[in-house]
Amino acid sequence: MINFPTIIVDNFYKQPDKIREFALKQEYLDSPGNYPGKRTKKLHELNRDLFDGFCSKLFSLYYTHADLKYSVDTSFWKVGTLDSDPTSPKNMGFIHNDNCLFAGVIYLIPGFNFNLGTTIYSRIKEKTQGPNPAMKRYYSTGEDIGFDDYILENNSAYEQTIKIGNVYNRLISFDKSVPHAPSHYYMGDETRLVQVFFVHKIESSISSPIRRIQDYDNIPYDSL
């Protein structure tokens, strides 16, 4: 069941250049193999005030009260082109779901590039395979044994429903049940910079947004 809507918020940070500058100053750690690129330490370890301010802004999109308890992981992520061939399956985003309540990104690359954003999908058939060591092996060591085939097989189980462009300081967020992926990784010699976030727990006196919408569904359909 979907509990949180897919949303897009432009101009999320009041001073995005300062956020970008802060992100670029940080140390980036190698991927453990579950995703490409490198990420910083968790934001609450880097700057607690920034973390608290981010969470307040994020949850204001869904709730109107301040007595929330939550668990959020957020960090900055850098990733470049994964294959010099723009048509390589490695430059395709690997379609997946996140293991949390809802997740999202904030784009921190100045300007606009429609093809470097995020694509939302729906599943059209059952996946024929689960997690594959080819992905972890390629992302962590660069060793390529069957990775292209794995990406193509995985992604063939989905169809695109929404494509969201990469706009500087744009936030997107989606429910855990929503399949998604980076639209494309090919960007020449440039590097993608985003803030990623994953909301793992929320304790609130009111229900989630989609449940609240359903509570107000008193439309007299039978009279139509």
* Mean pLDDT, rounded, for 11-16: 98
* Mean pLDDT, rounded, for 172-197: 92
pLDDT at residue 129, as a whole number: 61
Task: Report yes or no: 88 and 173 within 8 Å, Cβ to Cβ.
Answer: no
Which of 18-27, 74-83, 143-152 comes out lowest in average pLDDT?
143-152
- Residue with the bigger pLDDT between 80 and 51: it is 51
pLDDT at residue 216, as a whole number: 83
Mean residue pLDDT of the chain comes to: 90
Confidence of residue 35 (pLDDT cuts 50, 70, 90): confident
Q: DSSP assignment of 151-168, as one string?
A: HHHHHTTEEEEEEEEEET
pLDDT at residue 66, as a whole number: 67
Domains of the chain: which residue ranges? Answer: 7-216
Task: Report yes or no: 205 and 142 within 8 Å, Cβ to Cβ.
Answer: no
pLDDT at residue 139, as a whole number: 77
Decide if pLDDT at 23 tops 70: yes
Q: DSSP assignment of 125-150, as one string?
A: S--S----HHHHHHHHH---SSHHHH
Structure confidence by residue, pLDDT tens digits, 197-220: 999 999 988 888 888 888 888 888
* CATH of 7-216 given 2.60.120.620, 3.30.365.10, 3.30.70.360, 1.20.1440.130: 2.60.120.620
Decide if pLDDT at 168 tops 80: yes
Structure confidence by residue, pLDDT tens digits, 150-167: 889 999 999 999 999 999
